Structure 1
Amino acid sequence: MITPRFECSQTPESVLIKIYCPSVRAADVEIHVDDTLFTVHINPYFLRLNFPHPVLEDEASLARYDPSSGYLTVTLTKESRGQEFADLDLLSKLLAPRPSQQAPLIEVIGQEDADDADDLVARTNALSLEHELEREEILLAAENDWQIPQEVPSDPVITTTLNQSYGFLNLHSGYFKHVAHTENEVNELGSDAEIITPQERRVRRWKHEDEKWDEEHYMADYADDEYIQELLLWRNPHVAAPGPFQFTEAENLALLNLPRKEYLADARQTKSLYLTLISVLFSYAYEARTTQGDFTPESAWTICTLTPAFSALDPPPYIAPTPSAPMPSSSDLIACLSQSYRRCLAFPLHRSFTLAEACRADVAGLLLLGTRTVLRVLLDTQHVLTHHEVYYVYSKIWLEDFCVWVQASAGNDTLCELGTAVRGLRIPKAAIEWDLELLEAATSEAQQRDSDSDDESEEDEVARQL
């Protein structure tokens, strides 16, 4: 079955679903509505949407097919007239399966329901002992709207292989088996990427950053910062002029091509995802600011290199975890952004702490604009990586899942709270661990000496002329 292109809109009374299914027979359309669930089947297309509130198929509902344009437009009545259906433009969220719901422990039912329930129990008990397991599965499925409930495992997973997982929620492996035969200049783990432990990844990353750190390069950019000052004046268009938001046709197509997954993340994993999101947004902000929004063939390298979760498969948190809510603390945020600062001071062409601070402000501005703007940035970043012949792998193991997760789990309020926290942070230069203040002081002193020397030379020259 093919998932067709579609878009949703609403009026105070109805929900409209516009589905692109060219060259089909309108008489073969099958539409089904069940509470919040809407399905349509018209060979070879199948679409199942889960709305946030119930809809009805009544006399006011209709379906109209326009063979000239290839669009099937379905109008459904809202069960509660005037109710606002949020997030109809987040297509992946609509495509997600209906959440599992546990049945109540005690429920008052009518006589007809009681007879049906007794009949179900009688027929179930009639099953032989040989089918006991099947009976339990049937009862469990019936209690949960025929969707088996899922829980996050609490016990550690016992592995019997040397291979290590990585990427979004550690769901991926096998992408770097032949990395030694590719031109992957981002990968810092070499051919050991598939087997190295998370602790070893972090050790290697820190060592590599220390090796790449160049004091003279940093001091030169600090002394001659004319171009960096120009970069500081640039404003990210997402933040500067947000305006009314609407996904483009290309973005809607990208949303439809995302995987259909449901993620089960505990509090610790959720915190890690928010922190990783911040580091990805920082890398995007750095590349956008240094290219002034005009991405180049080198943009994929820069974004991946500046993101520890990509280059070293080393996502946050970067400090000892403490039992807490899934929202990152200020200490978590400082530790996360410090790693991004280290990398933008060690690897790319322009290395400036002030430039890093401007990128942090961009990240805060993007987060404050909420889910849709963050999703648009992730889609832009995914587009940059997907079209690179080597670095597309980081889109597969991180960005595709992130785009789905942000729609389903990262609400506007949460992202705005993070944006406020990031905006109010102060990243101490000591957290970078490269004696930045001493280097800056030495550079300023050298510049002052040169200036004094030039003044004395000019005075001597004037005196000789007199």
Structure 2
Amino acid sequence: MITPCFSCSQTDASVVVSLYCPSVRAAELETHVDDTLLTVHINPYFLRLNLPGRIVEDENSSADYNPSTGYLTITLTKEVKGEDFKDLDLLAKLLAPPPSKDRLSEPRIEVLSSEVVQDSDDELMEKTQASSLEQQEFLEAAENDWRLPQTVPDTLPPLETSAKRPYGFLNMHSGYFTHVEHTENEVNELGKDAETCPLDERRRKRLRHEDEKWDEEYYMADYAEDEYIQELIAWKHPHASIGDQPLGYSEDEQLMMLRLPRKEYLATETQTYGLYLTLLSLLFSYAYESRTTQRDPTPESAWTICSLTPAFSALDPPPYLPSCSPSEEERSATRFSAPELASTFTASYRRALAFPLYRSWALVEACRSDVSSFLLAGKRTVTRCLLELKHILDHHDVYYVYSKIWVDDFCTWVQAYASDEVMKDLGRCVESLRMEKDMIGWDLKDLEEVVRGATQREPDSDDESVE
């Protein structure tokens, strides 16, 4: 079955779904409405939408097919007149399956046997007398209400039944790097061990590679001669000033959304926290690429994005601190821990100062400001950023793999499961975050001081007047 191109709109009393179904027989149309679920089948097209509110089929509902244009227009009545159906422009959210109704918040305990054995007093006395000396002491201790020492055993590590280590979105993927040694994947920092390398080893390799690529002279040169970098910093990203006004997606963007995965993501609270942190690193890489090319991608754009994203190059997504959940005090003020946000941006900053063409602290700070603006604008703007990033990766013959294991799922998750409120809260946290140069682990302040000192001394020798 083919998923047709479609769009949704609404009036005060109805929802209108427009489908592009050229060269079909209108007599074969089948529609079914069940609460919020709309199913449309007209050979060879099939569409199932999970709408934000309840709909019904009544005398005001209709279906009209225009053979000259190929558009099928279906009008359905809202069960509650005047209800606002939100996110009708987020096609991936409409296509996502409805959440499971039988999902359990807590595990159930199955009682295998409820048989109760009642012993008489004589039988109990016989069993007590027959017990060992150790048991006698235990009974005496219990009778005297002694406090016996108790310790909680250490949690055993998860049982590994395979040498392969999953990666990607919610660790759902594997097998994409089985033959990586035969491809020209220049950003892969794990080599042929990408399929079997555990997470702690991935992180060590990533940090070691960043230290090896760090070039003090390169950084000093960009700090000394930064005229073009200042132009890049002054450039305003168009998505950074969109705000909350309605955002219309282009036809190409709608087609990309139709091809996204249609999954239900059963992420835990901890996993969801990690996804928001990983989203920061993706948006930072996108912001850097967009700012340095002014949204005119080059053949190097895919390499730049992948090199700046730890989750791509080393399959090492955040969180980077031992605990990824904020404390109770922090949770009362915000959902996100400031140290965790700093560690996430530290990883992105290190890579932006060690790998790409322009290596400037002021530039990476401008990119962080862009990330904050994207998040404050809401999930529609974030979705558009991810779709642009996906478009760049999809058109590369090697790096498209990172779109498959990360970006595709993120595009669906942001539309269907992420919260606008959480994103805006995260945007405010990123905006107020203070990043210090000492966090990076390299002597940035000392290098900048050397450049300033050399700049001040140059006029003494070069510009000295000759009498």
The residue number in structure 2 matching 1:311 is 313
> What is the letter of the counterpart of residue 310 of structure 1?
F
> What is the letter of the counterpart of residue 216 of structure 1?
E
Task: Measure, in 1, the Cα distance between the counterparts of 2:339 and 2:418.
Answer: 21
Contact 1:368-1:416 at 8 Å conserved across structures: yes
Q: Write the mapping of 1:292-303 to structure 2, written as runs, cut at 5 A.
A: 292-303=294-305
- The RMSD of aligned alpha carbons is 1.7
Structure showing greater relative contact order (alpha-carbon pairs closer than 8 Å, 6 or more residues apart): 2
The residue number in structure 2 matching 1:413 is 421
Task: Measure, in 1, the Cα distance between the counterparts of 2:157 and 2:30.
Answer: 46
The offset of 1:241, in angstroms, is: 5.0
Structure 1 gap segments, 5+ residues each? 105-153
Q: Specify whether residues 241 and 413 from structure 1 end up closer, same or farther in structure 2 by C-alpha distance, changes over 3 A only.
A: closer
Alpha-carbon deviations, 1:431-465, whole Å to 9, x = none?
A: 0010111111111111111133335x22xx1xx2x
Secondary structure, counterpart of 1:301 in structure 2: helix
The residue number in structure 1 matching 2:179 is 178
The offset of 1:227, in angstroms, is: 1.0
The offset of 1:156, in angstroms, is: 6.9
Q: Bigger shift: 394-403 or 65-74?
A: 65-74
The offset of 1:25, in angstroms, is: 1.0
Contact 2:274-2:324 at 8 Å conserved across structures: no
Secondary structure, counterpart of 2:163 in structure 1: coil
Task: Measure, in 1, the Cα distance between the counterparts of 2:362 and 2:314.
Answer: 25
- The structure that has the greater radius of gyration is 2
Secondary structure, counterpart of 2:16 in structure 1: strand
Q: Bigger shift: 239-248 or 92-101?
A: 239-248
Task: Measure, in 2, the Cα distance between the counterparts of 1:289 and 1:417.
Answer: 24
Is residue 162 from structure 1 mapped to residue 173 from structure 2 by the alignment?
no
The residue number in structure 1 matching 2:228 is 227
TM-score when normalising by structure 2: 0.85
The residue number in structure 2 matching 1:47 is 47
Q: Specify whether residues 252 and 156 from structure 1 end up closer, same or farther in structure 2 by C-alpha distance, changes over 3 A only.
A: farther
Contact 2:32-2:39 at 8 Å conserved across structures: yes
Task: Measure, in 2, the Cα distance between the counterparts of 1:252 and 1:436.
Answer: 44
The residue number in structure 2 matching 1:59 is 59
The offset of 1:159, in angstroms, is: 2.8
The residue number in structure 2 matching 1:266 is 268
Percentage of identical aligned residues: 61
Contact 1:274-1:328 at 8 Å conserved across structures: no
The offset of 1:329, in angstroms, is: 1.1
Alpha-carbon deviations, 1:254-280, whole Å to 9, x = none?
A: 100001101011121111111110001
The offset of 1:102, in angstroms, is: 4.5
The residue number in structure 2 matching 1:388 is 396
The residue number in structure 2 matching 1:320 is 322
Q: Specify whether residues 162 and 94 from structure 1 end up closer, same or farther in structure 2 by C-alpha distance, changes over 3 A only.
A: same
Q: Write the mapping of 1:305-454 to structure 2, written as runs, cut at 5 A.
A: 305-324=307-326, 327-454=335-462
> What is the letter of the counterpart of residue 447 of structure 2?
L
Q: Write the mapping of 1:68-217 to structure 2, written as runs, cut at 5 A.
A: 68-102=68-102, 158-217=159-218
Task: Measure, in 1, the Cα distance between the counterparts of 2:201 and 2:260.
Answer: 32
Q: Specify whether residues 266 and 103 from structure 1 end up closer, same or farther in structure 2 by C-alpha distance, changes over 3 A only.
A: closer
> What is the letter of the counterpart of residue 319 of structure 1?
L
The residue number in structure 2 matching 1:109 is none
Q: Specify whether residues 232 and 444 from structure 1 end up closer, same or farther in structure 2 by C-alpha distance, changes over 3 A only.
A: same
Structure 2 gap segments, 5+ residues each? 105-154
The offset of 1:327, in angstroms, is: 3.6
Secondary structure, counterpart of 2:339 in structure 1: helix
Task: Measure, in 1, the Cα distance between the counterparts of 2:262 and 2:242.
Answer: 32
Task: Measure, in 1, the Cα distance between the counterparts of 2:353 and 2:188.
Answer: 18
Task: Measure, in 1, the Cα distance between the counterparts of 2:261 and 2:292.
Answer: 32
Task: Measure, in 1, the Cα distance between the counterparts of 2:157 and 2:390.
Answer: 32
> What is the letter of the counterpart of residue 438 of structure 1?
D
